[in-house]
């Protein structure tokens, strides 16, 4: 009988997983469409996404924890709603491909004639003073920091130290590294532009027209729904993912954020549909967080204004970057919750779902973090694979393999059922 029961369970989970995969693909593709504007703060792309998710929760039949699926919060954020033009003479450069503007940059309209800071002269006070004098005397009106030849790590160190030059004049950083953008929460005194060395024209004037808007009180939303347990209980399992992304860098360029994190959001919605149709011994709450890319703002707000008692959470599973899995998954907090991690490993070993489940210690880089600080048992799970697009314009739906989506779904369902 036990073998028959296991066979029935395996067949059921396999057929279910195919349906889950279709849902994950559909929702991921939808959230990457231009009308969501990269789920950021231009044209309220993130708000449009929040309402889309709330509608999906309603269609599934989830119950709001409050009067609405939406929990509002506010924060300050920088945005780039209109012009995003950088050019050398008649050659117009492409945002996200040839250059990025630092997310904390203000508006700028004019010509940049930069004084060059070669990183080889950083230890020479005399040479550095000469560069400063060029700007102070208005021979030049910007700094250009040439980081070509440096490792990515060293470049990041230089960037962190020298971005402060924007207090005095605009800054251009010349790089050969891959671009990664972010969300800004303030504005520098002057614009900071990172430029690919392949388009750099030495000695030429850079023409810049960038429109930035600092929004002091932007309203964003967490989206929250629940499936009640088979029998009345206060114990709850929580699935979370952030749905926001970087948004638009100007009117023409947006960051789709397929892997990070339309894929995780889609997985949470698909899991909600499964547990609505197959309730377990726990209440299961599903939260799509806003404001993650701005510094875990939405999840921090939820923990400070919880709509359920945090002490009643049996376990929280935060899903981020779910679009691949060819090389397995990483489980953050795996070193902290050893029994739960061993359960994941045992399920995987029994069924052969994934090639690897990697254990990792605590981190502060996703929405599990503030829950962990309050003592909520939490895993942050993300996939590993050949797709390395991250915080760039190339993180598109078409780049995702969804290779292990089915197996991750089955693994998480079994994990919850065995809690």
Positions of CATH 3.50.30 in the chain: 83-210
Determine how β-strand 114-118 pairs with β-strand 213-227. Answer: unpaired
Neighbours of 350 (CB within 10 A): 10
C-alpha–C-alpha distance, residues 400 and 385, integer Å: 10
Per-residue pLDDT of the chain (419 residues; tens, 9 = 90+): 444 444 444 544 555 555 789 999 999 999 999 999 999 999 999 999 999 999 999 999 999 999 999 999 999 999 999 999 999 988 999 999 999 999 999 999 999 999 998 877 776 667 778 888 999 899 999 999 999 888 888 888 888 878 889 999 999 999 999 999 999 999 999 999 999 999 999 989 999 999 999 999 999 999 999 999 999 999 999 999 999 999 999 999 999 999 999 999 999 999 999 999 999 999 999 999 999 999 999 999 999 999 999 999 999 999 999 999 999 999 999 999 999 999 999 999 999 999 999 999 999 999 999 999 999 999 999 999 999 999 999 999 999 999 999 999 999 999 999 99
Distance from the first to the final alpha carbon of the chain: 23
pLDDT for 6: 47
pLDDT for 101: 98
Domain 83-210 has what CATH class? alpha beta
C-alpha–C-alpha distance, residues 87 and 255, integer Å: 21
pLDDT for 157: 86
pLDDT for 20: 81
Name residue 139's beta-bridge partners: none
pLDDT for 14: 52
pLDDT for 185: 98
**228 burial class (0-12, 13-18, 19+ CB within 10 angstroms)?**
middle
- Which ranges of 78-162 would DSSP assign to H, the alpha helix? 125-136, 152-162
- Edge-to-edge strand order for the sheet containing 114-118? 99-101, 192-196, 171-175, 142-146, 114-118
Q: Tell me the pLDDT tens digit for each residue of 137-148.
A: 999 999 999 998
The pTM assigned to this predicted structure is 0.94
- Edge-to-edge strand order for the sheet containing 84-88? 91-92, 84-88, 206-210, 108-112
In terms of Cα–Cα distance, which of 95, 103, 115 is closest to 169? Answer: 115
Could you tell me the CATH superfamily of domain 2-78+215-417? Zn peptidases (3.40.630.10)
Residue 337 gets the label, from left (phi > 0), alpha (psi -120 to 50) or beta, of beta
Positions of CATH 3.40.630.10 in the chain: 2-78+215-417
pLDDT for 124: 67
pLDDT for 271: 97
- Supply 15's token pair: 């057929």
C-alpha–C-alpha distance, residues 332 and 341, integer Å: 10
In terms of Cα–Cα distance, which of 281, 277, 264 is closest to 367? Answer: 264
C-alpha–C-alpha distance, residues 26 and 37, integer Å: 17
Distance of CA 216 to CAs 186, 303, 313, Å? 9, 22, 34
Distance of CA 111 to CAs 188, 194, 209, 319, 372, Å? 18, 16, 9, 44, 48
Q: H or E segment at 258? A: none
């Amino acid at each position: 009988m036990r073998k028959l029961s296991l066979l029935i369970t395996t067949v059921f989970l396999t057929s279910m997983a195919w349906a889950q995969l279709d849902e994950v693909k559909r929702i991921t593709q939808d959230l990457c469409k231009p009308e969501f504007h990269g789920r950021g703060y231009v044209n309220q792309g993130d708000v449009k996404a929040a309402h889309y998710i709330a509608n999906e929760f309603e269609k599934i039949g989830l119950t709001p924890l409050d009067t609405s699926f939406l929990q509002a919060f506010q924060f300050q954020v920088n945005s780039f709603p209109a012009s995003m033009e950088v050019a050398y003479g008649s050659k117009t450069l492409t945002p996200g491909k040839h250059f990025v503007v630092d997310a904390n940059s203000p508006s700028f309209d004019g010509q940049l004639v930069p004084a060059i800071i070669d990183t080889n002269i950083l230890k020479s006070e005399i040479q550095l003073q000469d560069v400063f004098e060029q700007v102070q005397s208005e021979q030049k009106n910007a700094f250009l920091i040439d980081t070509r030849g440096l490792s990515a790590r060293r470049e990041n160190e230089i960037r962190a130290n020298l971005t402060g030059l924007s207090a005095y004049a605009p800054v251009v950083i010349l790089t050969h590294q891959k671009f990664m953008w972010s969300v800004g929460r303030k504005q520098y005194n002057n614009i900071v532009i990172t430029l690919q060395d392949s388009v750099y024209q030495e000695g030429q004037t850079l023409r810049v027209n960038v429109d930035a808007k600092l929004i002091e009180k932007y309203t964003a939303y967490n989206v929250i729904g629940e499936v009640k347990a088979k029998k009345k209980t206060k114990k709850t399992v929580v699935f979370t993912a952030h749905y926001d992304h970087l948004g638009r860098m100007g009117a023409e360029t947006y960051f789709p954020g397929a892997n990070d994190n339309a894929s995780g959001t889609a997985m949470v919605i698909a899991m909600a549909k499964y547990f609505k149709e197959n309730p377990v011994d726990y209440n299961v709450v599903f939260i799509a967080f806003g404001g993650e890319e701005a510094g875990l703002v939405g999840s921090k707000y939820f923990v400070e204004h919880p709509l359920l008692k945090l002490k009643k959470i049996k376990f929280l599973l935060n899903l981020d970057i779910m679009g691949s899995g060819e090389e397995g998954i990483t489980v953050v907090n795996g070193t902290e919750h050893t029994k739960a991690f061993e359960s994941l490993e045992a399920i995987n070993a029994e069924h052969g779902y994934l090639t690897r489940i990697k254990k990792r210690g605590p981190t502060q880089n996703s929405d599990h973090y503030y829950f962990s600080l309050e003592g909520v048992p939490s895993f942050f799970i993300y996939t590993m694979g050949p797709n390395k697009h991250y915080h760039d314009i190339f993180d598109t739906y078409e780049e995702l393999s969804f290779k292990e989506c089915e197996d991750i779904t089955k693994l998480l369902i079994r994990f919850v059922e065995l809690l």
